[in-house]
Structure 1
């Protein structure tokens, strides 16, 4: 059975206005944080995406009362009656989401045990949960691997610890924060991720009563407290979705105003967008992205952890770079297998070659490891409509951008994956005068 099929009539500039709400990389984690409180929490600017549905289901299974006003984008979360969920129910509701691993710390504090099923997620690189389990073990958790998943217990409670990350992993930083805030004693996390979404989660936890300080050298100090209350918080806007629509405007020669976009979260992207030849106008209520005419320019860009150029920005940008004059180089240093989506672009007429070598200005951890983690894009090349299968969330939206920019008709299969991170993208496409039809 086809998992979401979209027909796209390409070659039309996107033009109009859309609204971007809370970040996919923050909202589900803030929802999990509500488990730590003894009183209700209220989260605003919540997007209607699949990950929110998954976490809502998991929270409900654990006894949290979840009320979601979809129109207003407001979640009310009451954890006063938290209880253990049945293993089969957790597995059924989790689906391919990797969020359940972040439930472990809060559930160990609340219930003394936690269970997570086999985890899925986008297949873009090595994201082993063993890294998360090692962090939980360092706090004193006991991990038992079962046939259906993993059971964790904390017979002696969780204690503060010292953790040094070999790489500033967002997931590992989230895991540590959600576990350390109620652990007994102090926790020191070295080499932490400091993305805006991480800092927004720190804000959430601080509102709940946590004591957290962040040093300039990526060290986070957490003093555990006995009890946390609920929070009231408005999620920061999704900078990945914003950049995706910006790249779509550039690739199609269009003009898109993104309500809710924040300049301060997107400084690095805006610099690259301007260097390529795109134009933008920052307003109080959002950012206008548009193609000002003339030729786009080729660039050399490397992805990196914040404040570098975000890995989730590179895939939609690559589509725009197929229309730039000259040779562009993109060096991916965050996820080792993120250029699989370029095969479909080449099928559509793009000239993209991928390499194992580090083609950026610096060597990275994937050098000499046989991963195709650098791409060379020659342009401009006209794109032609084609039949495409979506590989993952960000790659899938990039395929959609390519179909919108291409001459002719494309059929994009597997677009249900896009629902995980792009709120109501079909209606947004309609608002931007795109000619798209959902076939299945």
Structure 2
């Protein structure tokens, strides 16, 4: 099993190209199930989750071809993948596939909308909370689907097709909004979604669906209107840049110090996080093609943050920001409002010398003057990269174990950091 070794103490200086967004790529790939034409996606990152979803889609009969594969020395442009779901051969998504990645549950929406039925295993993924599928089920039932749960599977049926409706999410859900967008695109009549997720990834999916012939208005606002169409066509769409990768490397630059420019990205996708970084003492400026992060000499200031749905502080940057706060000159607090079990990285950061105490969903971080390298273990995708960030500032060697979590969401992480002067290497086996 691969590990990543970090020797801390080096400032980061240089340029890091940002890959296509994992959280946008996955629903875009699933949207290929909505049409029997080819959907072409550009700027697709090479990630374990993408490869896993390709296997899941293949189980349903989706063919794919890849062009523009990355050269080993070129991380500035993504792959182009052509997906063809002309022949759906199976509407069941089995446990052995879905259990490995939660987002694969989302196939239930397009399969139900196009084929009139779907049988999908209850999902797996990172162990960061229960994340129930109630909102998905309620939304699809509002569209007229008949749904039963039996033997760990959600069986959905809409033989006469889905019917447009007005649905108010009781709480904001990115995944359920994705599924409702896809399902309602082929429903009869108009669907109005209230309290919809506003994340940029929602807008990216809606943009792609509209290019396929859908009629969606209001994506990026709490109210989305979808006028159902009888069929969708193929399209060509470029995946948006990964705002979580952008924020992660921005935090890494603030942690290690130095001067880093993040290219092929947009700062407005994570404004709340960049504001918090500025309050922490980093100099954050927009560039024509991305964001520049500078921190030279000054210490890290303590900042209190609360995770919230977009446009708030992203829960997917909570662990990374906590790593930064371990070196703050004072006490900071992080309140996690999205997932109930997303502090598993705390005990691993403590192994490096961090002083963190938990009270419910609030973490109190008392900054320390130094961190010391140690062996640590990744527990989930975002927690794993927080350990890398802490290792960049720790004295001595930090060994991050179970880095397969990292490979699910960060493309060529060690190469990108090494190019900016970090001592980071992957140890295979």
TM-score range (shorter-chain normalised) is over 0.9
In the alignment, is residue 246 of structure 1 matched against residue 250 of structure 2?
yes
- What is the CA–CA distance in structure 2 between the aligned matches of 1:401 and 1:305, rounded to whole Å? 24
2:297 is matched with 293
How far has the Cα of 1:20 moved from its partner?
1.1
Matches within 5 A, 1:115-134: 115-134=119-138
> How big is the alpha-carbon RMSD for the aligned residues of Structure 1 and Structure 2?
1.9
Q: Which moved more, 1:52-61 or 1:28-37?
A: 52-61
From 41, 44, 48, the counterpart of 1:43: 41
In the alignment, is residue 431 of structure 1 matched against residue 419 of structure 2?
yes
2:88 is matched with 82
TM-score, normalised to structure 2, is 0.92
In the alignment, is residue 160 of structure 1 matched against residue 158 of structure 2?
no
1:412 is matched with 400
CA contact (8 A) 1:351 1:381 kept: no
- What is the CA–CA distance in structure 2 between the aligned matches of 1:147 and 1:304, rounded to whole Å? 34
Aligned residues: 420
TM-score, normalised to structure 1, is 0.90
How far has the Cα of 1:174 moved from its partner?
0.9
From 61, 64, 72, the counterpart of 2:62: 64
- What is the CA–CA distance in structure 1 between the aligned matches of 2:417 and 2:105, rounded to whole Å? 33
1:105 is matched with 109
From 387, 396, 413, the counterpart of 2:375: 387
Structure 1 portions without partners, runs of 5+: 356-371
CA contact (8 A) 2:196 2:222 kept: yes
Q: Deviations over 1:304-326 (max 9, x none)?
A: 11111111122111111111211
From 163, 176, 180, the counterpart of 1:172: 176
Equivalent residue of 2:296, what SS? Answer: coil
How far has the Cα of 1:81 moved from its partner?
2.2
How far has the Cα of 1:267 moved from its partner?
1.9
1:315 is matched with 319
- What is the CA–CA distance in structure 2 between the aligned matches of 1:216 and 1:403, rounded to whole Å? 36
- What is the CA–CA distance in structure 2 between the aligned matches of 1:224 and 1:23, rounded to whole Å? 27
- What is the CA–CA distance in structure 2 between the aligned matches of 1:95 and 1:419, rounded to whole Å? 17
How far has the Cα of 1:215 moved from its partner?
7.9
Structure 2 portions without partners, runs of 5+: 71-77
How far has the Cα of 1:257 moved from its partner?
2.1
From 163, 188, 195, the counterpart of 1:191: 195
In the alignment, is residue 304 of structure 1 matched against residue 292 of structure 2?
no
Q: Which moved more, 1:144-153 or 1:41-50?
A: 144-153
- What is the CA–CA distance in structure 2 between the aligned matches of 1:347 and 1:310, rounded to whole Å? 25
How far has the Cα of 1:229 moved from its partner?
0.9
CA contact (8 A) 2:117 2:158 kept: yes
In the alignment, is residue 73 of structure 1 matched against residue 79 of structure 2?
yes
- What is the CA–CA distance in structure 2 between the aligned matches of 1:331 and 1:85, rounded to whole Å? 40
How far has the Cα of 1:399 moved from its partner?
1.0
- What is the CA–CA distance in structure 2 between the aligned matches of 1:208 and 1:86, rounded to whole Å? 25
How far has the Cα of 1:282 moved from its partner?
2.2
Q: Deviations over 1:231-261 (max 9, x none)?
A: 2111110010111011111111233222212
How far has the Cα of 1:436 moved from its partner?
2.9
Q: 1:78 to 1:328 in 2, by over 3 A?
A: same
- What is the CA–CA distance in structure 1 between the aligned matches of 2:285 and 2:92, rounded to whole Å? 51
2:27 is matched with 29
